[in-house]
Amino acid sequence: MENSAGIVKPQYVTFRDDFSFESGRVISSVTCCYETYGKLSEDKSNAVLVCHALTGSAHAAGFHRADEQKPGWWDSMIGPGKTFDTNKYFVICSNFLGSCFGTTGPSSVDPSTGKRYGIRFPVASVKDMVKLQKRLIDHLGIEKLLAVAGGSMGGMQVLEWGATYPDMMKTLIPIATTHAITPMAIAFNSIARFSITKDPRWNKGDYYEGEFPVDGLAIARMAGHITYLSDPAFNDKFGRRYSAFEGFYDFNGFFEVENYLRYNGYKFTEVFDANTYLYVLKAMDIFDLSYGRGSLSDAVELIKADTLLISVSSDFLFPPYLTEEIYDIMKYQGKKAFWYNIQSNYGHDAFLLEFEELDRLIREFFADRGL
Amino acid sequence: MENSAGIVKPQYVTFRDDFSFESGRVISSVTCCYETYGKLSEDKSNAVLVCHALTGSAHAAGFHRADEQKPGWWDSMIGPGKTFDTNKYFVICSNFLGSCFGTTGPSSVDPSTGKRYGIRFPVASVKDMVKLQKRLIDHLGIEKLLAVAGGSMGGMQVLEWGATYPDMMKTLIPIATTHAITPMAIAFNSIARFSITKDPRWNKGDYYEGEFPVDGLAIARMAGHITYLSDPAFNDKFGRRYSAFEGFYDFNGFFEVENYLRYNGYKFTEVFDANTYLYVLKAMDIFDLSYGRGSLSDAVELIKADTLLISVSSDFLFPPYLTEEIYDIMKYQGKKAFWYNIQSNYGHDAFLLEFEELDRLIREFFADRGL
Does the CB of B21 have a partner CB in chain A at under 8 Å?
Answer: yes
Q: Provide mean pLDDT across the span B231-247.
A: 83
Which residues, other chains included, contact B232 with Cβ-Cβ below 8 Å and sequence gap of 6+? B314, B345
Q: Does A262 touch chain B (CB under 8 A)?
A: yes
Decide if pLDDT at B101 tops 70: yes
Closest CB from B123, B182, B219 relative to A249: B123
Q: Does B274 touch chain A (CB under 8 A)?
A: no
* Cβ neighbours of B286 in A, within 8 Å: 248-249, 253
Of residues A6, A79, A86, the one with CA closest to residue A38: A86
Structure letter (DSSP) for residue B123: P
Chain A residues near residue B190 by CB distance under 8 angstroms: 222, 255, 257-258, 261-262
Are the beta carbons of B190 and A319 separated by less than 8 Å?
A: no
What CA–CA distances, in Å, run from A58 to A17, A64, A65, A257, A295?
Answer: 23, 11, 15, 30, 32
Measured in angstroms, the CA of B250 and the nearest CA of chain A are apart by 7
Determine the residue among A191, A237, A287 to mutate to test chain B binding: the one whose Cβ has the most chain B Cβ atoms within 10 Å.
A191
Residue A316 with chain B: CB contacts under 8 Å: 231, 316
Closest-approach residue (CA) in chain A for B260: A187
Question: Which residues of B have a catalytic role annotated?
Answer: 152, 315, 348
Q: Are B160 and B303 in contact (CB under 8 A)?
A: no
* Chain centroid, CA B71 distance in Å: 16
Question: Is the ipTM beyond the 0.90 threshold?
Answer: yes
A190 chain-B contacts, CB cut-off 8 A: 222, 255, 257-258, 261-262
Q: Is the pLDDT of residue A358 over 60?
A: yes
- 8 A C-beta contact, residue B194 and residue B311: no
The confidence score (pLDDT) of residue B254 equals 81
Residue list for the binding site of B for substrate: 221, 349
Chain A residue numbers touching B204 (CB-CB < 8 A): none
pLDDT for position B253: 77
Backbone angles phi, psi at A209, to 5 degrees: -90, -10
Contact present, A106 and A118 (Cβ < 8 Å) = yes
State the Cα–Cα distance between residues B103 and A218, nearest whole angstrom. Answer: 34
Tell me the chain B residues in contact with residue A258 when contact means C-beta distances shorter than 8 Å: 186-187, 190, 193
In tens, the pLDDT along A167-226 reads 999 999 999 999 999 999 999 999 999 999 999 999 999 999 999 999 999 999 999 999
Q: Which of A152, A195, A314, A344 is catalytic?
A: A152
Q: Does B255 touch chain A (CB under 8 A)?
A: yes
Is the Cβ–Cβ distance between B315 and B348 less than 8 Å? yes
- CA pair distance A164, A293, nearest whole angstrom: 10
The predicted pLDDT at position B286 comes to 93
Average model confidence (pLDDT) across chain B: 96
Catalytic: A64?
no
Cα-to-chain-centroid distance, residue A312: 16
Interface test with B, best of A221, A249, A286 (most B CBs within 10 A): A249
Cβ pair B34, B94 in contact under 8 A: yes
Local confidence band at A3 (pLDDT 50, 70, 90 cut-offs) = confident
> Has domain A11-180+288-368 been given CATH number 3.40.50.1820?
yes
Q: What is the mean pLDDT of residues B191-200?
A: 97
Residues B122, B19: contact at Cβ < 8 Å? no
CB distance B234–A182 less than 8 Å? yes
Extents of the domains making up chain B: 11-179+288-368, 185-282
How far is A340 from chain B, CA to nearest CA, in Å?
22
On whether any CB of chain B is under 8 Å from the CB of A224, the answer is no
> Does B257 contact A229 at a Cβ distance shorter than 8 Å?
no
A225 is catalytic: no
Query: For domain B11-179+288-368, which architecture applies?
Result: 3-Layer(aba) Sandwich (3.40)
Q: What is the pLDDT of residues A65-105, one digit of tens each?
A: 999 889 999 999 999 999 999 999 999 999 999 999 999 99
3-state helix, strand and coil shares in percent for chain A, rounded to the nearest 5 = 35, 20, 45
Report yes or no: B236 and B345 within 8 Å, Cβ to Cβ: yes
CA distance B358 to B314: 16
Q: Which residue of B has its CA nearest to A24?
A: B249
Question: What part of A 163-222 touches B (C-beta under 8 Å)?
Answer: 180, 182-184, 186-188, 190-191, 193-195, 198-200, 215-216, 218-219, 222
Q: pLDDT tens for residues B248-265?
A: 677 777 889 999 999 999
Q: What topology does CATH give the domain A185-282? A: Rna Polymerase Sigma Factor; Chain: A (1.10.1740)
